[in-house]
Amino acid sequence: MRHQLFIGGQFVDALSGETQPTLNPHDNTPIADVAMAGRADVDLAVAAAQRAFPKWSRMAAADRGRILLKLADLIEANAEELARLESLDTGHPIKDSRALDVPRTAACYRYFGGMADKFQGETIPVEAGFLNYTLREPVGVVGQVVPWNFPLMFTSWKMAPALAAGNTIVMKPAEITPLTSLKIAELMAEAGIPEGVVNIVPGLGSVAGQYIAEHPGIAKVAFTGSTATGKRIVQASAGNLKKVQLELGGKGPNIVFEDANLTAAVNGSAWAIFHNQGQACIAGSRLMLHSAIADEFLERFTTLARSIRLGNPLDAATEMGPLTSALHRDRVLSYAQVAAEQGGEIVAGGRAPVAAELARGCYVEPTIVKARSWRDRVAQEEVFGPFVTVLTFKDDAEALEIANGTDYGLGSGLWTSNLQRAHRFARDLHAGMVWINSYKRVNPGSPFGGVGQSGYGREMGFDAMREYTQVKSVWVNVDAQIPPWYPRPAA
């Protein structure tokens, strides 16, 4: 198979002719060759998006919405193909791609399709004789750079609100997981999104991604990925003072108090870290246990972790697939060494599975590490794999100190039956999202994003529409008052 860039409504080769294979992380065999965009291709994509902007932005909002609703229907009609492509390219277990990634993607386009003609400006009560109102205008051409962990869903989180608000798009998927973005481009054309409104340019982050962040023709850049790359994007965006939206890393505290329902907490905490092989910015990667229940909890949690079925992502029985690339697998495994060097205890995993059928893939066993201190590297750095660091605490004050003791502030969770404690922690946690007696819930209506080194701006909900629009304030002199500043006799 061979895939091209999508620019100006056409699938085209990169001007350089360059391609790169995308690999199946189950066995590292090539799935397809994909064209790699360079700077000249990004220039073409920006020019196409600029040409498409006037018509798309002035189209009746309800008509833009109707197109997005049709796209949601087409995603559902092509659900199985999208689920298989996503699993093949990323390693997501097919049961998750079917039950979560594809339905959530359709739901996101449907939500913002419905939102398109409901997001509005305001009238402001100002001094007598004047009408003041605001217009929410699209920003222009937006650049969007997404990572490899949830390519299908994350492109919808970025493209749906941007399109509903009337922007046009240059999107760069991660070079290792471009396949579902290119399939969505095809469905967008079928849904009636005019040519040039969405342009997809797979390519290297250091080339195509960096140039999107620098490009003078792009008015805003929205990025999901590592904090280090996010900072590079902020620097690159300074040339034309782009709006920047960043959804970066996390080291989510998942706190289990002594009064929690342990069955629910064990199950939810396993989901918090092991879903998608732990490759999630909101993963509950710091499991914090009250000392009174720590031993019992850890025993049950370890038994559950060891029972998770690893296997080919295309097998419907698989509960955990491979990590998305060999490079990343090696990075995750290197943290077992980091843990050992700092006196941590590896309770489970910390290695690749030994089963012969998994030997060529990017697999890592569910890994549980007891850290000596919450200041250790394994309790501070984002590992981004099936790797959970266990910490204990003795009371609420210590729990809060540990939970807020990182530079990140994205997802967080707590398990307790004490209502006041639950809301007190919801207030005091340094985080963009808090789940109480649950973990990792998302919905297109609920704002998603972080604080501190986890970035700024919010995806989804009304907040996403605010991110993809700018406010214009309009003043009207309705009583035709003559300004009093230079009183002179009337002519």
Token output for 319? 């509960």
Comparing CB distances to ligand TAP, the nearer of 140 and 250 is 250
Token output for 11? 């699938």
Q: Strand pairing partners for 30?
A: 23
CB of 242 to ligand TAP, least distance (A): 12
CB of 295 to ligand TAP, least distance (A): 30
Token output for 36? 């790699």
CB of 294 to ligand TAP, least distance (A): 27
- Answer yes or no whether residue 226 interacts with ligand TAP by CB under 6 A: yes
* Integer Cα distance of 111 and 193 in angstroms: 17
- Catalytic residue of the set 214, 247, 365, 382: 247
Runs of H (alpha helix) within 240-293: 262-274
Tell me the site size for ligand TAP, rule CB under 6 A.
Answer: 24
CB of 326 to ligand TAP, least distance (A): 13
Comparing CB distances to ligand TAP, the nearer of 109 and 211 is 211
- Answer yes or no whether residue 89 interacts with ligand TAP by CB under 6 A: no
- Answer yes or no whether residue 252 interacts with ligand TAP by CB under 6 A: no
- Judge whether 281 counts as a catalytic residue: yes
- Answer yes or no whether residue 232 interacts with ligand TAP by CB under 6 A: yes
Among 65, 151, 249, 321, binds ligand TAP (CB under 6 A): 249
Residue nearest to ligand TAP (CB): 205
Contact window for ligand TAP (CB under 6 A) among 131-139, 220-228, 416-424, 466-474: 220-228
Among 196, 209, 253, 444, binds ligand TAP (CB under 6 A): 209
Torsional sign, CA 410, 468, 191, 6: negative
Secondary structure (3-state) at 461: helix
Phi-psi region of 455 (alpha: psi -120 to 50; beta: other; left: phi over 0): left
Comparing CB distances to ligand TAP, the nearer of 149 and 156 is 149
- Judge whether 108 counts as a catalytic residue: no
Alpha-carbon distances, residue 215 vs 53, 144, 197, 359 (angstroms): 16, 12, 17, 43
- Answer yes or no whether residue 213 interacts with ligand TAP by CB under 6 A: yes
* Integer Cα distance of 179 and 428 in angstroms: 41
DSSP letter for each residue of 59-82: S-HHHHHHHHHHHHHHHHHTHHHH
Strand order from edge to edge, sheet including 19-24: 2-3, 29-35, 19-24
Token output for 378? 């394994």
Token output for 175? 């070079």
Comparing CB distances to ligand TAP, the nearer of 147 and 252 is 147
Comparing CB distances to ligand TAP, the nearer of 96 and 392 is 96
Comparing CB distances to ligand TAP, the nearer of 224 and 416 is 224
Q: How many C-beta neighbours within 10 Å does residue 480 have?
A: 6
Comparing CB distances to ligand TAP, the nearer of 210 and 269 is 210
Among 46, 174, 185, 399, binds ligand TAP (CB under 6 A): 174
- x/- map, 273-292, ligand TAP, by CB under 6 A: --------x-----------
Residue that is written with structure tokens 């009609």 in the block: 77
* Integer Cα distance of 209 and 221 in angstroms: 10
Among 131, 204, 346, 422, binds ligand TAP (CB under 6 A): 204
- Answer yes or no whether residue 380 interacts with ligand TAP by CB under 6 A: no
Comparing CB distances to ligand TAP, the nearer of 365 and 459 is 459
- Answer yes or no whether residue 409 interacts with ligand TAP by CB under 6 A: no
* Integer Cα distance of 349 and 336 in angstroms: 9
Q: Strand pairing partners for 358?
A: none
CB of 248 to ligand TAP, least distance (A): 5
- Answer yes or no whether residue 384 interacts with ligand TAP by CB under 6 A: yes
DSSP letter for each residue of 156-196: HHHHHHHHHTT-EEEEE--TT--HHHHHHHHHHHHHTPPTT
CB of 233 to ligand TAP, least distance (A): 5
Contact window for ligand TAP (CB under 6 A) among 4-12, 52-60, 198-206, 297-305: 198-206
3-state helix, strand, coil split of the chain in percent (to 5) is 40, 20, 40
Segment 142 to 161, residues that bind ligand TAP, using CB under 6 A: 145-147, 149
* Integer Cα distance of 82 and 97 in angstroms: 8
Among 38, 65, 205, 268, binds ligand TAP (CB under 6 A): 205
Q: Which residues bind ligand TAP (CB under 6 A)?
A: 145-147, 149, 172, 174-175, 204-206, 209-210, 213, 224-226, 229, 232-233, 248-249, 281, 382, 384
